Homo-oligomer: A and B are copies of this chain.
């Protein structure tokens, strides 16, 4: 059996256009895309939390009244986008930033020698402020909306290498304080995910070369005028909503920015 029962079974989903009179629907979307959207909603709403097991393919197929193959195709795409991780024999898990695996997905600065490891953070400043115009624009806020501002220096093996400033929407990151940041070990995205229910899933980065100013030079213990990489990064959560602006200066004396083109 196929189409007849399929249309019956998927009555609550948008049925494929071909079986209806009047030709192709202008908003045609395959079943598996609709299933993917439903699963994404459950991820976004926190019904299945980072690190947790989601229902099995068979279970989801039953729930959505589609074949296992259709659920598979939906999950395949979610896995390709790093929203979930499949583990054969175990199940499919919601991705989390609390994993060694995830730590270097957004940090592309690699040591010239030795094995990559996560830097230590020292927070210079943490405060709430009103969003300047450029920050507001990139975070899709109104100029003057509340934002959390963070400035920190990151060091590898005690050598200060990154100085960065972050802006976060004040509404989402209400209780974020210097204390919380200092207590927390590991990548900030882990904290954001666990404590503020906001998972970064994608980022856009623009990189330039600049010379260190006096203030940056001091923080990085370098001579003023030393060339640095300057990164401006906007990170997005579900629904392509921007939720972080980060401006970083990277010393590339002992590190390089690594990128794989394919």
Write the residues of chain A forming the contact surface with B, with a CB cutoff of 8 angstroms. 80-82, 105-106, 108, 110, 201-211, 225, 227-229, 233, 250, 252, 256-262
20 sample A-B contacts, Cβ–Cβ < 8 Å, listed by A number: A81-B262, A82-B262, A105-B261, A108-B261, A110-B206, A201-B262, A202-B261, A204-B259, A204-B261, A205-B258, A205-B259, A206-B256, A207-B207, A207-B256, A207-B258, A208-B252, A208-B256, A209-B227, A209-B250, A209-B252
B202 A262 Cβ-Cβ under 8 A = yes
In the assembled complex, the CB of A5 is this many whole angstroms from the nearest CB of chain B, namely 21
In the assembled complex, the CB of A84 is this many whole angstroms from the nearest CB of chain B, namely 14
With contacts A205-B258, A205-B259, A207-B257 known, what are 18 further pairs, Cβ within 8 A? A82-B262, A105-B261, A105-B262, A106-B261, A108-B259, A108-B261, A203-B261, A204-B261, A205-B260, A206-B257, A207-B207, A207-B258, A207-B259, A208-B229, A209-B227, A210-B227, A211-B227, A225-B225
In the assembled complex, the CB of A67 is this many whole angstroms from the nearest CB of chain B, namely 13
Smallest CB-CB separation from A262: which chain B residue? B202
In the assembled complex, the CB of A262 is this many whole angstroms from the nearest CB of chain B, namely 5
Among the listed B106, B204, B209, which residue makes an inter-chain contact with A209, where contact means beta carbons less than 8 Å apart?
B209
Q: A203 to B206: give the CA distance in the assembly, Å.
A: 19
B209 A228 Cβ-Cβ under 8 A = yes
Q: A80 to B81: give the CA distance in the assembly, Å.
A: 12
